[in-house]
Amino acid sequence: MAHSVPTMAPALDVNALKQFVDPLPIPEIAQHQGYRPSPADPKLNVQFYRIQAQPIACKVHRDLPPTKFWSFGASTPGPTFETRSGEPLLVEWVNALPGEHFLPVDHTLHGAEADKPAVRTVVHLHGAKTRPESDGYPEDWIVPGKSSLYYYPNQQDAAMLWYHDHALGINRLNVYAGLLGAFLIRDGVEDALNLPGGKYELPLILYDRLLTHEGQLLYPVSPDHQSPWVPEIFGNAILVNGKLFPYLEVEPRKYRLRVLNGSNARFYNLSFVDSTSTNEVAFHQIGTDQGFLPAPVPLKNLEIAPGERADLVIDFSDHRGAQLALKNDAVVVMQFRVSPKKVTDTSSLPAALRPVPKIPESQAVQTRLLTLNEYVNKAGNPVLLLLNASHWKMPITEKPVLGSTEVWSLINPTNDSHPIHLHLVRFQILDRQPYVPWLFQTKQELHFIGPPEPPDPNEAGWKDTVQAHSKMVTRIIVPFEGFTGRYVWHCHILEHEDNEMMRPYEVISPG
Ligand code: C2O
Ligand code: CU
Ligand code: CU
């Protein structure tokens, strides 16, 4: 991504640190605190959780002092929810943060003006089908000392969702501070697949950070003191479940890895490399953002954008006694140490996972042309990003009817790929097609210069976040199911989202 480098205090050179001295941490499982009557049906009791956003300090590496974070609970990432499809739950999200922010708030951004409280949180469960009042609308933030009670019906397929802060104008800072965690939904389809489970199924939550020489979080700022916002951040410290260069001892058998890109802006190109042969090890992707693919997709690299999830199965049985590095391009992220002794593996990697019927394009009642816009100053630096040239505060223009299906054509004239996420819904990618941006900008003419490209096999399932590539029109087909009301759609590069690359949309009732 060709943006100017922001100014900042010198960051710690993480390559000076010793690699693979810390075991990979696995976030604890969230524990419910009894039962409460369901808001949907007071005769029904549902699990009640209380999760507190609070300041913590924890070590990202053996040789660094503890780093200050904000976290949902005692460590970051926060606890992983283990839930069943069809079993609703209530979560009281508590803001127990201090009154001042420790990262650079930009008061020129929408929602973060100087008259707003510096510390605000609101939690969104990314990928969940929930009513608007529990969806974490960016303006539904609460201040320290307050809490919100959110209801998750969990009426959806098995998938890895994730929860994170969504407060208007400071979302990038709150997530960077550590306010994120995983949320797993299980179902009978998954049970029947006999995939690797228990200790053979692990979340790999990836995010990059910059650290000071004292091991504290460093969030870069622009040279303009009035407006410290920067267009994108890339840290040299890539953390996995909160650790830098961790290692994991594994058995020579199949593992299921639930990968989440929780980075603010970084796209990953992941591979597993055997350190003796330096060969890239083949693996399978079995699921995407919204659950299982129709069949496992063999891969050697995984491209994953902010907000996206990938469900992987990797078989270490041919690598007894070896060490495998998880790499992002050429950069080492973590190590898998495969034990030498043979084991029996009774888990499976079924050839068929579940049907994902393609939604026929003819089902769409409406096609919306939606542009992704980036505005630069005289020096060529981005100063604002919009969807469809519209600010957050402008009237709602996207009003799909509940139960209807629409095609959204994401027209991207910028030089960046933008991961576009819609709340509430799941969708399928139809295609991507290269086009001539200036003809669309000047004459509203969509002039294509190549054939439409179908989604990659590992994207050909249910998605909630799509990579809208540069100079392409990316088309998604979206059934608007669930609830009526006001939701949002946005770019999941959090710096973009915070600088207006987010819009409300409203699902309206039919008739
Ligand atoms: Cu993961 Cu609206 O976000
Ligand atoms: Cu979401
Ligand atoms: Cu973007």
Percent of the chain past pLDDT 90, that is, above it, reads: 95
Q: Which SS3 state, helix, strand or coil, does residue 148 take? A: strand
Centre of ligand 2 from the C-alpha of residue 218, in Å: 26
Q: What was the pLDDT predicted at 495?
A: 98
Question: pLDDT, tens digit, for every residue of 255-304?
Answer: 999 999 999 999 999 999 998 888 899 999 999 999 999 999 999 999 99
Q: What was the pLDDT predicted at 4?
A: 46
Index of the ligand 1 atom closest to the CA of residue 166: 2
Q: What was the pLDDT predicted at 3?
A: 45
Question: pLDDT, tens digit, for every residue of 73-117?
Answer: 999 999 999 999 999 999 999 999 999 999 999 999 999 999 999
Rounded CA-CA distance 391/399 in Å is: 16
Q: What was the pLDDT predicted at 8?
A: 58
- In single-letter form, the type of residue at position 70 comes to W
Rounded CA-CA distance 136/168 in Å is: 10
pLDDT at 5 over 70: no
Tell me the whole-structure pTM to 2 decimals: 0.97
201, two tokens: 């199924």
Question: pLDDT, tens digit, for every residue of 455-508?
Answer: 999 999 999 999 999 999 999 999 999 999 999 999 999 999 999 999 999 999
Work out the widest C-alpha separation in the chain, in whole angstroms.
Answer: 66
Cβ neighbours of residue 80 closer than 8 Å, sequence gap 6 or more: 27, 28, 29, 30, 181, 182, 183, 184, 203
Q: What was the pLDDT predicted at 379?
A: 86
Centre of ligand 3 from the C-alpha of residue 465, in Å: 12
Index of the ligand 1 atom closest to the CA of residue 126: 1
pLDDT at 2 over 60: no
DSSP state of 440: H
Rounded CA-CA distance 407/394 in Å is: 22
Nearest CA to ligand 1 atom 1: 126
Q: How far are the Cα atoms of 59, 301, 469, 493 from residue 455, in angstroms, in the given order?
A: 40, 16, 12, 21
* Rounded (5°) CA angle 6-7-9: 130
* DSSP run (H or E) holding 403: none
Centre of ligand 2 from the C-alpha of residue 285, in Å: 22
Collect contacts of 378-382 with beta carbons under 8 A, ≥24 apart.
379/4, 380/4, 381/3, 381/4, 381/222, 381/231, 382/3, 382/231
Mean pLDDT across 304-326: 97
Q: What was the pLDDT predicted at 9?
A: 62
What are residue 52's DSSP bridge partners?
94
Band of pLDDT at residue 1, cut at 50, 70 and 90: very low
